[in-house]
Amino acid sequence: MEILRTPDSRFANIKDYPFEPHYTVVKTHDGSDLRIHHIDEGSKDGPVILCMHGQPVWSYLYARMIPHLVKAGIRVIAPDLPGYGKSDKPAAREDYSYQRQVDWMNQWLVQNDFTNLTFFGQDWGGLIGLRMVADNGDRFDRVAIGNTGLPYNPDAPESMIAKVKAFRASPLKLNLFSMQKQVTKMKGIGKDSGVDLFAYWQKYTWENPDLPAGIIASSMMEPRNKLSLMLELFTGYIGLRNVSPFRTQLTKAYEAPFPTPAYKMGPRAMPSQVPTIPDQSLEAQKKAWAFFAKFKKPFLCVGAGNDPVTDGFEKIWLAKVPGTKGLPHANIGGGHFFQWGKAEKLSGILADFIRAN
């Protein structure tokens, strides 16, 4: 398989990311070497938290949280998923199946022999990380999740499945704003309209080879002047995304892993791998849910509560997972990527969770 590697020079001027890189090489299905990056900060004698990011971001998302967690005596492990950050980037769409991503990260976990872990995952960090917990339960002492889930919808109506598939294949062209208009109508996990509205995100990301990952991330984490945002989009459209004078520090950071559109297959392909309708991941999701239905270790739900895509995620877990009982579950604001806007508060909650359990 073809694997791309972002030059180190792309990360040379990233603000507030002074962390030493660590690399692990795992094997893909065809025997290729795939290098996965992670950061490892804090006392080696402290309790260990594994923080996993989602799409289209990377471990930079935790840059504001790491100092707070380290100050609390916690060792922080934060990997870049394959396709993101400083990790290698497989170049083909089929490389990003849900199962392959779980397999790669399971290898990474075992090769580093991380144990006695607290897990925290958000977005795709939860989808992949929760499967890692289910596959390696003895390595985890407790779990916390936010703005994420473990999608399992075996009884989706055939009419809905057909509607979503037809929409994804339709000739309709979406831009950032027309996509956002539909996705923001979502009312959280479990609502009838969620699957078909989420399809707008799946279609938009796949059909944009030069997906504006930096703009998407920054627009969800910081106030953006609409004019500067549109000008930055325009400069990207004419091939100047990496030199646009309208970029913010955040757009620079989240565009850094992608020197050219060829490097963006992960952010483009992964939304369509979210199993909102039954697909090849159905049995593995069923198995994972069976694991968590018996999970008695501490399991904390802490989310934003103002994210249209994942609002209400905690209700499923509170109803099904024994380990959630009696814990101080909370919604703290901050939007989908609340690790950035609520870094200190979220860090405090996770530190308290570790100390109390």
Question: Which stretches of the chain are DSSP H helices?
Answer: 65-71, 98-112, 124-135, 158-169, 176-183, 194-206, 213-219, 226-237, 249-255, 265-269, 282-292, 313-320, 338-341, 343-356
List 80, 88, 103, 307, catalytic entry: 307
The two three-digit tokens of residue 166, written as one number? 């037809």
Whether 336 is a known active-site residue: answer: yes
Q: Yes or no: say if 315 and 343 are a contact pair by the CB < 8 Å rule.
A: no
Residue 92 DSSP code = S
Residue that has been written with the tokens 């703009």 in this structure = 215
Whether 307 is a known active-site residue: answer: yes
List 88, 123, 135, 311, catalytic entry: 123
Whether 53 is a known active-site residue: answer: no
How far, CA to CA in Å, does 135 sit from each of 139, 140, 176, 275, 290?
9, 10, 37, 19, 12
List residues with catalytic annotation. 123, 307, 336
